[in-house]
A = this chain, B = another copy of it.
């Protein structure tokens, strides 16, 4: 892309204002434009990530409950969104927090994986703009349309766009109608190659899905409610990157999973920073499964969810999950 002159001016304005601390009228004078234009340039600079304003998320890790969760479950860092006090609506708060945490966890040059679901969609939607050229955002699961939210490729693209990162999509359906076709497609060089790069990610972002009738997979038509029930009988309790996991967080050898094109769960577990975000209280059992399966090194949950996890973890006398042991 050619370097537009306005971009140059925008950069200069941002530099003088934010890095040198000049006032807008001083910047205007120095650049020979009106102050109103400076204000416009500055907004654009913020919107394009040339200027980056970030807030430490320490507020949410600075909590005894977070320490306890980390100590008990082996999660590296936990962020806890309070529900009690006057604060904010936790449903609105969590995506903002998750987006900030996500940005905190990215390093220059990283490859990051993004999965899909209502939660991820909301996070993408409030993701701040940043200047992270050199970062690559890859799609963790195959595509599936959803009437009320982004498709997986759109999530990836949107996040990449906001970060000024490169987005790598993955043009295969999430679920196919036959196991044979899924198998063949997985074997296709283009697909196989992309799936194999997932283990090289430094960071992954996902939520865990439930298996109720109103779960995301059912709502999007990947499975009928009946089929989902049957999967539940076969041991499925949650969904990670479109795939069903059992109570221990292991891949379920069921019809749906065999028909599914998505990141191998082993590849996901191999990722250094596995960021799991859970909003809904109804996702308690899936969350437990994901934790046992080692799918979270960085966890964002509500206070009540954190308490329930602690309780259950202790009741069942579970020990820490180490990435190495899973």
Q: How far is A15 from B3 in the complex, measured between Cα atoms in Å?
A: 34
* Cβ contacts A85-100/B at 8 Å (1 or 0 each): 0111000000011001
Q: How far is A231 from B52 in the complex, measured between Cα atoms in Å?
A: 47
A24-57 residues with Cβ-Cβ distance < 8 A to B are 30, 45, 49-56
Q: How far is A107 from B105 in the complex, measured between Cα atoms in Å?
A: 10
- Partner of A12 from the list B20, B59, B107, B108 (CB cut-off 8 Å) is B59
- B55 and A53 form a contact (CB under 8 A): no
- B52 and A20 form a contact (CB under 8 A): no
Q: How far is A51 from B3 in the complex, measured between Cα atoms in Å?
A: 30
The answer to the question of A58 belonging to the interface, with a C-beta cut-off of 8 Å to chain B, is yes
In the complex, what residue of chain B is closest to A49 when comparing beta carbons? Answer: B56
Q: How far is A145 from B282 in the complex, measured between Cα atoms in Å?
A: 64
Q: How far is A19 from B51 in the complex, measured between Cα atoms in Å?
A: 14
| Contact status of A51 and B56, CB under 8 A, knowing A86-B30, A96-B19, A108-B107 | yes
- A3 and B62 form a contact (CB under 8 A): yes
State the copy count for this chain.
2
Please name all residues of chain B whose beta carbon is closer than 8 Å to the beta carbon of A3 when the two chains form the complex: 62
In the complex, what residue of chain B is closest to A131 when comparing beta carbons? Answer: B56
Q: How far is A214 from B49 in the complex, measured between Cα atoms in Å?
A: 43
- A53 and B50 form a contact (CB under 8 A): no
The answer to the question of A11 belonging to the interface, with a C-beta cut-off of 8 Å to chain B, is yes
- Partner of A58 from the list B11, B18, B30, B87 (CB cut-off 8 Å) is B11
The answer to the question of A8 belonging to the interface, with a C-beta cut-off of 8 Å to chain B, is yes
The answer to the question of A271 belonging to the interface, with a C-beta cut-off of 8 Å to chain B, is no
- Partner of A55 from the list B14, B59, B104 (CB cut-off 8 Å) is B14
- B11 and A53 form a contact (CB under 8 A): no
- A20 and B50 form a contact (CB under 8 A): no
A178, chain B: closest CB distance, angstroms: 46
- B88 and A20 form a contact (CB under 8 A): yes
In the complex, what residue of chain B is closest to A96 when comparing beta carbons? Answer: B19
In the complex, what residue of chain B is closest to A133 when comparing beta carbons? Answer: B58
A29, chain B: closest CB distance, angstroms: 10
Residues of A participating in the B interface, judged by any CB pair closer than 8 Å? 3, 8, 11-12, 14-16, 18-20, 30, 45, 49-56, 58-59, 62, 86-88, 96-97, 100, 104, 107-108, 131
| Given A11-B58, A11-B62, 8 other A-B residues pairs in contact with their CB atoms under 8 A | A11-B56, A12-B87, A14-B55, A30-B86, A30-B88, A51-B53, A52-B56, A107-B108
Instruction: List 11 A–B pairs whose Cβ atoms lie within 8 Å, in order of A's numbering.
Output: A8-B59, A11-B58, A11-B62, A12-B87, A14-B56, A19-B55, A19-B97, A20-B88, A51-B56, A107-B107, A107-B108
7 A-B pairs closest in CB distance: A11-B59, A56-B131, A18-B55, A19-B55, A50-B56, A52-B54, A53-B53
